[in-house]
Chains A and B, each alone.
Chain A
Amino acid sequence: MAVVAQSSRFSKLFWPVLAWTVALVFFFPIFWLIFTSFKTDADAVKPDHLIFFKPTLENYINMTENYDYWRFAINSVITSTFATVLALVVGVPAAYAMAFNPTRHTKDVLLWMLSTKMLPAAAVLYPMTFLTKNFLDIYDTHFLVILVLCLINLPIVIWMLFTYFKEIPKEIIEAGKMDGVSTWGEIKDILIPLAWGGVASTALLCFIFCWNEAYWTVRLTTTEASTLSKLIEGNRAPEGLFFGRLSAVSTAAVAPIIVLGWFCQKQLVQGLTFGAVK
């Protein structure tokens, strides 16, 4: 008895402590980022100002006044939104077809789509740059960024939607057919209302992935269509030592998405563990 009581007291203490430690370790970089963003560039590299310093908004003011933060932010919003919408417009009918009218090759198609995510992006950097810059002449346009963001997320979007749609009993879709609903009607009036939670989580996740994407948005834009990833990148590369400024830019870039994630936390968790339409 005593042993059991002891071990349970131990685990009562041990697991929360471990959980908090892990959480803090993960959170620390973000905390340090925000912390540093209120230091001047000079303070940021001075060891004696590591913890104690005079907080300033200078970096943020500087960022909006001299580095055109809002243009990058608006670009991020526009490209992520449109890429997500486009991915859903393509993904919902695709997943619908694969979930309810599968052929012998449906499984192969799904696997093939996923396999494209296994190809290193760097491998197609040169062809992509050449194609968009010299051939199609769409380099550094919103159109290109939207297209690329949509395409790289499409496999995941279709996979997620497919899994949610699979949960819906086939008979309900068939009942719709018996009732004379058009294909578009099936999607609009039956499928999406029933899989609403799943569609919302998919959209949310796709949006977050688009927002955070850095490899292509940095390399396929120069100024016109650049997103916040490019802003961070631009403040890092040439000068190197301006940590205060870099932190402010990074904070301002990740803040919207963290806030969005925070508000939609329930939807995200529910969506990712979804499984009850029945």
Chain B
Amino acid sequence: MAGLTIRDARKAYGETQVIHGIDLDIADGDFVVFVGPSGCGKSTLLRMIAGLEEVTSGDISIGDRVVNDVAPADRGVAMVFQTYALYPHMTVYKNMAFGLIQAKTPKDEIDRRVREAAKILDIENYLERTPRALSGGQRQRVAIGRAIVREPDVFLFDEPLSNLDAALRGQTRLEIARLHQRLKTTIVYVTHDQVEAMTLADKIVVLRDGLIEQYGAPMELYENPANKFVAEFIGSPSMNFFEASQEKGGFSIGGKKVSVKLSQEVNAIDIGIRPEHLKQTTKQKAVLSGTLDVVEQLGDHVLAHLVTGQGNEFIAKFETLGDIKLGDTLHFDATKENIHFFDKTSGARLV
């Protein structure tokens, strides 16, 4: 087992640079999730760790060893691909054993490891089948099994659940979490699904355009997003943002003034409040009011889409709507720690 260190890693394809200098320390045994919008470089960074993509400059170390020039198979990493990438012409058993055979592992050792992994993943009955004869979920388990038998220092997952249907995705997600608890091996996991990120991660790396926007525990990102981008990306539904006008000693977004001492002078700010933090209140106490526009019933909760007097759309989360009707004007307040301030131009968090 080992941790992972990345120092000023960059990647360019010809003239176009896609990874712009990443510094990252992953502790041994951590489950780290890379999230970010499509094209931000998650897969590229993961593939650089795997050794499938050359590092243009900078260093990647696994444990204490710089692995820039080490072949993928000798890095002590194992990868699970989004498309599973099983060998279609080999049985499940052979698929899992193939890497060990290449490493000249003794036969009975191979057999022991494959059967053990198969047991963990509940695929013992399929060992003699080819991948063609398996369902998507079963194939995914085989792909995970192929990684497990190699007993790597670091597991790499690239969107392993995105080809599964919703029910299976939830179930497999749980199994991956269990697997991590059991093996305690470092995992780097790529996804663009922030629910996966929140539920699985010890730490989340939010990437944008080849740069790290924030690195921290899920709740840290949720409670103290470093900037507007992270605030919007983490949490579902997304944080609401309101253009705030400056008043003496505070800011207003239509209702009661929000008083705050900013650490620096800025011209314009955005105020962010998460839908689940908006609490209904009276008109006098409200920092924010809006008319109810659309209602989304989601069973255990309701998402109310509202519009402020200035035409700013936002969402509030309710347990039930009671006798509130479309077109009603609702008033909201939020506790101080749940109101976030961002610089309008740079997006940086202001405290």
B102 lies within 8 A of A181 (CB): yes
In the complex, whether B216 has a CB less than 8 A from a CB of chain A is no
Q: Majority SS of interface residues in chain B?
A: loop
Whether the Cβ atoms of B102 and A178 lie closer than 8 Å is no
B99 touches A180 (CB 8 A): yes
A130 to chain B, nearest CB (A): 44
From residue A189, how far is it (CB to closest CB) to chain B in Å?
Answer: 8
User: CB distance B83 to A180 under 8 Å?
Assistant: no
Interface residues of A in 259-273 (CB under 8 A from B): none
Across the interface, name the chain A residue whose C-beta is closest to B97: A179
Question: What is the chain B residue whose CB lies nearest that of A175?
Answer: B85
Q: Does B179 contact A (CB under 8 A)?
A: no
- A188 at the binding interface (Cβ < 8 Å): no
Residues 161-183 of chain A, each 1 if its beta carbon lies under 8 Å from chain B, else 0: 00000000101101111111100
Q: In the complex, are the beta carbons of B85 and A179 less than 8 A apart? A: no
Q: A180-B71, A180-B102 are in contact. Are A175 and B87 (CB under 8 A)?
A: yes
In the bound assembly, the distance between CA atoms of A172 and B85 in angstroms comes to 5
Evaluate contact between B89 and A180: CB separation under 8 angstroms: no
- A178, B73: Cβ atoms closer than 8 Å: yes
Task: Give the interface centre of B77, B81, B146 by most chain A CB atoms within 10 Å.
Answer: B81
A194 touches B73 (CB 8 A): no
Least distance between B133 CB and chain A CB atoms (Å): 15
Residue of B nearest to A193 (CB): B89
Identity of the chain B residue whose Cβ is nearest the Cβ of A170 in the assembled complex: B85
Q: A104-B14, A185-B102 are in contact. Are A177 and B52 (CB under 8 A)?
A: yes
Do A171 and B102 contact each other (CB < 8 Å), given the known contacts A180-B71, A194-B88?
no
Contact, CB under 8 Å: B102 / A179: yes
**Complex Cα–Cα for A193 and B130 (A):** 14
- Partner pick for A175 among B51, B71, B81, B89, CB 8 A cutoff: B81
Interface residues of B in 101-116 (CB under 8 A from A): 102-103
**Residue contact A179 to B89, C-beta cutoff 8 Å:** no
Does A33 touch B at the CB level, under 8 Å?
no
Selected contact of A178 from candidates B14, B50, B86, B88, CB within 8 Å: B50
Question: Can you list 20 A-B pairs with a CB-CB distance of less than 8 A?
Answer: A171-B82, A172-B85, A174-B85, A175-B79, A175-B85, A175-B146, A177-B51, A177-B71, A177-B72, A178-B50, A178-B52, A178-B72, A178-B73, A178-B78, A178-B79, A179-B73, A179-B98, A180-B102, A185-B102, A278-B88
